Amino acid sequence: MAATVVVTDVYTSFTVEAIDADWTWTDDFSQDTFAKGMPLWAVIFQPGASGDVLSLKNGSAAANEIFPDNVLIDTAPQVQYYGGNIMKPFIDFSECTLSAGHRIIVILANSSRFS
């Protein structure tokens, strides 16, 4: 379940698909690169089916939810904006309901703003 990473002059994004276990930001990125976390701009959740739920937390399973964990009644993408706040994305698989075809796209704020 490795992330697919896209880097442009404006933003960096990565897509996580086919989740079958917990996922944390250090699974696909060096903690040295984002020593204090990642500058999150937005998270887009594309459910695979109605009724899907994403459990996205800040740091660990015990942390607070940072994505609204409501049950989706359709398959329209949901977007949550974070304005570049430094966070440590953690997907708590045990609290998710994810159908085949789901996709989580994480867009990072321009890292030059934080250097």
Mind listing the pLDDT tens digit of every residue in the chain (115 residues)?
Answer: 556 767 666 677 888 888 889 988 777 666 666 778 888 999 999 999 988 999 999 989 999 999 876 666 778 899 999 998 999 899 999 999 999 989 999 888 875 444 4
For the CA atoms of the chain, what is the radius of gyration?
13
CA angle 38, 40, 45 (to 5 degrees): 120
How far apart CA 10 and CA 43 sit, in angstroms, is: 16
Global confidence as pTM:
0.82
Q: Measured between alpha carbons, how far is 72 from 109 in angstroms, rounded to an integer?
A: 27
* Fold held by 4-114: Jelly Rolls (2.60.120)
